Amino acid sequence: MSHTPGPWYAKKVADGYDIESASSVITRTTTQEAYEDYESNETEDKSNAELIALAPDMITFINMIADFPLYGDIEQGDDDAHETLNNLIERAKGFS
């Protein structure tokens, strides 16, 4: 499977958020405001876009820990993987 390399970023545009890489727009989210039946929630719309933008970093992390023993504690594994996990968690918490 291939995808546009990360990092990706969420950037506010008129009717939602663009998910962008350094070289292109990956996709665009549309705020609920665009639909008559939904009430817009700017905080939720922004959080959704930023969470989508974390996808390449999450894939990187999953690949880092794929070879760890299933019974092992991540702290016994690669220090880079542990640091990446903590970074992803902190970034994801910031979107809620």
CB 10, CB 51: distance < 8 Å: no
Alpha helices in 1-96, H assignment, sequence order: 42-53, 55-65, 79-93
Q: Could you state, in order of their start, the residue ranges of all structural domains in the chain?
A: 9-93
Per-residue pLDDT of the chain (96 residues; tens, 9 = 90+): 477 888 898 999 988 889 999 888 988 887 665 566 666 677 777 888 888 888 888 888 877 776 666 555 555 556 777 777 777 777 776 654
Q: Are 34 and 17 in contact (CB under 8 A)?
A: no
3-state secondary structure of 29: strand
Kindly report, residue by residue over 64-80, the tens digit of the pLDDT: 776 666 555 555 556 77
